[in-house]
Amino acid sequence: MLELPVIDRPREEASADEAGSKDSRGNYAFISLGCPKNLVDSEKMLGHLALDGYTLVSEPQGSDFVIVNTCGFIDSSRAESKAVIQEMIDLKQAGRTKGVIVAGCLPERLGGANLRAEMPEIDHIVGVFARDEIAKVADRLVGNVNEQREVFRPAPIRALDDRARLRITPSHYAYLKISEGCNRTCTFCSIPMMRGKHATKPIEEVVAEARELAADGVKELMLVAQDTTYYGIDLYGEMKLVELIEELEQVDGIEWIRLMYLYPVNFTDRLIEKIATSPKVIPYLDMPLQHVNSKVLRRMSRRVNRERTEALVRKLRESIDNLVLRTTFIAGFPGETEAQFEELVDFVQDMRFERMGVFPYSIEPGTPAVKLDGHLPEDVKAARVDRLMQVQQQIAFEFAESLVGYELDVLIDGNNGDGFSIGRTFADAPEIDANVYVRGAEGREGEFVSVEITGRDDYDWVGEVVANDA
C-alpha cells in the first residue's frame, strides 16, 4: 500500500515530495473531486502512476501534466468540475503545465466527444472504468502521441480491484469500496448512467484489501458503495453484508467500521442485530431517505413508503444503543406540494436525525424525473432547503449539547496549529460531519484518545484529554 499525507484543502489535491526520483518518467499533479467512491478511484490511479515511475508533485504549476478526476453527479458538481478543468487549461495555455488529462464521472455523463467539443484544449479523456489505464494515457501524453485520446471501457461484471492504492486520506482511516454501480431505478438519479449496474466485490477481495489497509496503519474503515445494503445479491444470490462484516471484524488493527450509503430497503433483522452487537461496527449509519411522503417516494421510484420508512427508523433507534443517524433529503422534487413538504418537515422534527443534508432537486438530463409534471421554481426549492436546514440546525445543536460533560473516545485526525488537535467521535464521518477540538492531544494523530467534552461551538465540540489517558 502506497501512502500520501492528507491535504487540508476544500478539494483534494494530491501532494508528495517535490524532489522526484532520478529515473522518473515525468511529474504530475492530481486533483480529485466528488464523493469517497471517486476518491478510491483517484487513489487507484495514483497507485498505477507511482508504480509506472511517475512522480507526484504538490502543485500543478511546473508539472508535466495535471489529472482532474471529476464528479458528474448533479449540475453543481459538473459546474465545479468544469471550472477546475478550465483552471488547469489556463495554466497550460500560460505555459505552466504541459498537459491536462480529465478522468472520471464527467466524461461518462457527458460523453467524450461532447466534453471535447466544449473544452477542446483537454489533451486526454479517461472514463470511470478505464482508470487502470491511466499510466498508458500518461505515456501517450508525455510522448506526444495523439492517438487514442479518449479511453472508455464498459462497466465491469465484477467490481474492480482497489488494492495497491496511493492514499490521500490520513494513514489511520480509509474508504473501502465494496461494490460498484447501482441497480436502483430512482427517477432523479444519473449514477447508473455513469457507474453501470451493481457489481459486488467478492468477500475475499474486500477482506484482502482491508488487511492491506490495516497493515498500512488504518484503524477506521468506512464501507462505501452506491447501495451498501444490496451487497452480495448479484454475485451470491442473497445479501451478504452481514457475512462481510463478520469477516472484517477479524482483521487485526481495524477498530472502527463505519457503514455508509445504506439504502433503506434490505435492512433485515439479522443485519440490524449484527450492527447492534458488533465489536467493531460503530453505531453510526448513513442512510439516505430522500423523502417521507409516500406519493413523492413513489414518484421517486424509491420502492418504500412513509409507513415502512418510519418503522425502520424507529426499529433502528430501539435496537442499536447510542445510534447516530445521518440522512439526506431532496426538497422541491417535481410535484411536491406545500403539504407534502410540511410532512417532511414534521418527520424531521419527529425523528431527530443527528446528522442530515438537504439538496434542492436538480434536473438531470436523461433521468425519468425530467418528464414528470409539476417542476418547481428554483426560488421555491431554495426556500424549502433553507427551511428544512433551519429545523435540522436546532436538532443538531441540541444533540451536540447533550454530549457536553461526557467522556468519549476521539480519533485524532490532525492539528489546527492553534493549540488544538482535531478529531472525531463515533458520531462523525470525515469531511461531512462535526469535529472535536481537543487540548492535550498534541502529537497523537491517528490515535484514539479519551476526551471529556467540555463545550460546543455550533455543530462542533471542544474537549480536553482525560488525565489518565494523557
Rg (CA), the chain: 22
Does 71 show up as a binding residue in the annotation? yes
Q: Are 68 and 85 in contact (CB under 8 A)?
A: yes
Buried b or exposed e, range 6-21, using 16+ CB within 10 angstroms: beeeeebbbbbeeebe
Within 65-133, residue ranges assigned H as helices are: 75-93, 105-110, 112-118
Beta bridge partners of 437: 422, 462
- 29 phi and psi, to 5 degrees? -115, 155
Q: Are 183 and 234 in contact (CB under 8 A)?
A: yes
Return the H-helix or E-strand segment holding 347: helix 338-351
Question: In 10 A of CB 311, how many CB atoms?
Answer: 11
Q: Are 462 and 437 in contact (CB under 8 A)?
A: yes
C-alpha cell at 171: 494513514
Instruction: Classify residue 419 by its DSSP letter.
Output: S
Return the H-helix or E-strand segment holding 391: helix 378-402
Does 267 show up as a binding residue in the annotation? no
Q: Are 249 and 279 in contact (CB under 8 A)?
A: yes
Burial classification of residue 374, based on how many CB atoms lie within 10 Å of its CB (0-12 exposed, 13-18 middle, 19 or more buried):
exposed
Does 4 show up as a binding residue in the annotation? no
C-alpha cell at 173: 482511516
**Residues 53, 11: Cα–Cα separation, whole Å:** 25
Q: Are 150 and 116 in contact (CB under 8 A)?
A: yes
Q: Are 194 and 72 in contact (CB under 8 A)?
A: yes
Does 186 show up as a binding residue in the annotation? yes
- 311 phi and psi, to 5 degrees? -65, -40
Beta bridge partners of 461: 436, 456
Beta bridge partners of 221: 174, 257
Nearest to 248 by CA among 282, 294, 272, 273: 282
Instruction: Classify residue 425 by its DSSP letter.
Output: -
Query: Which residue ranges are tagged as binding site for [4Fe-4S] cluster?
Result: 35, 71, 105, 182, 186, 189
Query: Which residue ranges are tagged as binding site?
Result: 35, 71, 105, 182, 186, 189
